[in-house]
Amino acid sequence: MRIDVVTIFPEYLNPLDVSLVGKARARGQLGVHVHDLRNWTHDRHHTVDDTPYGGGPGMVMKTEPWGEALDEVVADGFESGAHGPVLVVPTPSGRPFTQELAVELSARPWLIFAPARYEGIDRRVTDEYATRTPVYEVSIGDYVLAGGEAAVLVITEAVARLLPGVLGNAESHRDDSFAPGAMADLLEGPVYTKPPEWRGRGIPEVLLSGHHGKIARWRRDEALHRTSLHRPDLIERADPAAFDKKDRETLSILGWAPGADGRFGRTAYTVEQ
Ligand code: JQB
């Protein structure tokens, strides 16, 4: 996979040199090219922003630097043999970035990120590129960032770990919370490793029992507890066929009951966790 990033803060992308993404690059599984948007300005002050038409607060990123930058990045990529670019534009008004979208993007050979600053990029830039290539406007969550660079780091890490051969065998994707088909979309419970006692705290007995059936059941109950506590929406939207008899007992204890449609909802009396 090839990744291009056009930004006014190229150093913000330095973390892409380290860890999983850095190793994938070193192994040649990923090529990352970071470009300074100001290289495509022509005035003495390297201006990338201007006041918004219609008035209002803040500044808007200008069409011309983005147009010239993206044209050159696209042309250089094609010259290097890349194909099938998609433009990814982080914005608080984008579609939610989910694991499903990470899987979709990981199947593309070439991602071009356009992280903005200020109040975002003049709409005509994405309108123009959408006539040539798929454009994904995405939001990484319901909070407000000052710009798109942190979202590029998040999206790149989520996508890179899905590339063939990037994760070792020791860490496969199958059981990830949110991986399609994992634990029926439950959050993961707690994990433990050695030493067996630390500051007076032990390990849940069942994990030392060697009884694989009991361990699986305990982990499942922990996952149900944690999901009930932190993400009740996941239980409400779960396919009830994903819950076995013992799951239903645990959910009942946690204050959940199936409704007329079989889906689970909170019972009137739910004990605080
Ligand atoms: C400028 C961004 C995010 C990119 C993602 C997320 O554009 C704005 N509009 C309103 C308030 C603040 C901004 C600042 N801003 C470019 C830009 C914010 C991304 C962003 C994002 N992806 N929150 N904020 N989940």
CA 73 to centroid of ligand 1, rounded, Å: 23
Which residues face 135 on adjacent strands?
Answer: 87
* Catalytic site positions: 92, 119, 161, 176
Question: Would you write out the chain's pLDDT as a tens digit for each of its 273 residues?
Answer: 999 999 999 999 999 999 999 999 999 999 999 999 999 999 999 999 999 999 999 999 999 999 999 999 999 999 999 999 999 999 999 999 999 999 999 999 999 999 999 999 999 999 999 999 999 999 999 999 999 999 999 999 999 999 999 987 556 665 565 654 455 599 999 999 999 999 999 999 999 999 999 999 999 999 999 999 999 999 999 999 999 999 999 999 999 999 999 999 999 866 655
* Coil, strand or helix at 102: helix
CB of 139 within 6 A of ligand 1: the answer is: yes
CA distance linking residue 135 with residue 205, whole number of Å:
51
CB of 152 within 6 A of ligand 1: the answer is: no
CA distance linking residue 165 with residue 161, whole number of Å:
9
CB of 52 within 6 A of ligand 1: the answer is: no
pTM here? 0.95
- Report the residue count for the chain: 273
CA 214 to centroid of ligand 1, rounded, Å: 46
Residue of 91, 97, 139, 153 with the most ligand 1 atoms within 8 Å of its CB, for mutation: 91
